[in-house]
Amino acid sequence: MHIDLSGKTALVTGSTQGIGAAIATGLARAGARVAVNGRTAESVDRARERIAADHPGADLVAAPGDLTGDDGLARVLEAVPAVDVLVNNLGVFGARPALEITDEEWRRYFEVNVLTAVRTTRAYLPGMTVGSWGRVLNIASDSAVVVPAEMIHYGMTKTALLSVTRGFAKEAAGTGVTVNSVIAGPTHTGGVEDFVYELVDRDLPWEEAQRVFMREHRPMSLIQRLIEPEEIANMVVYLASPLASATTGGALRVDGGYVDSILP
């Protein structure tokens, strides 16, 4: 299967590290012009340098801006006024006992994990529909379906993101624009390493700590390991391509079989 995104412009929010960086790299490898986003120009420049070092000739645009505010969104829109592919990856997560989650934390998680995706979609979707082609992809989580007891505020936002995805897919009906979410399972990133060590013995070597975490906290995983960010990126690149033209309004899983369901 050959995926060619030459001539397409993509924006990946929160793409200076982790899953976002892997997605930006995958889209660039497929030939897309990729706008890299982070809160600061410095973090964006470092990410672009890393991607360019691995893929010389990659067409990378700096699009710094904090998307939780109007000023940050304006900065991003100035850097990249129109896109063909929008990947809403920006998100925060962390463990907190349910009864200790404050109102401020509930609001912050919803603001970052849901409203930033709504804002960027609202900004870019009209241009896509005018051009009769586009892709909006929201990075959700298995926590949207299997809400973890240790971070129900995070699970709530990812459930909301599935609803947002379905709603915008209906808004884009018949336009040639598709809107989907990708349900990512437990994934190996720097942030997740910190999260794992919040829940298991910090003195354990990483490989053993990962096994303990999966066994004790994510026992439903069928692959029995953390997913690598590149594996999430592979699904995103496919959904961003013309090959996925008949897939919209969906929630497609890259979860290692974690969600106990026979539906995608």
**Amino acid in position 247:** T
Using CA atoms, how far residue 202 sits from 187, 210, 259, in Å, is 19, 11, 27
**Amino acid in position 58:** A
Angle at 78 between CA 74 and CA 81, to 5 degrees: 105
Q: What phi and psi values does residue 34 have, to the nearest 5 degrees? A: -115, 125
How much is the CA Rg of the chain, to the nearest whole Å? 18
- Choose the catalytic residue: 109, 124, 154, 258: 154
- Spatial strand order in the sheet of 177-184: 60-62, 33-36, 9-12, 85-88, 134-141, 177-184, 251-254
Q: Is residue 166 exposed (0-12), middle (13-18) or buried (19+ Cβ within 10 Å)?
A: middle
Contact call for residues 98 and 147 (beta carbons, < 8 A): no
Neighbours of 6 (CB within 10 A): 9
Active-site residue, 258 included: no
Which residues, including other chains, have CB under 8 Å from residue 59's CB and lie 6 or more apart? Answer: 28, 32, 33, 34
Q: Which residues are catalytic?
A: 154
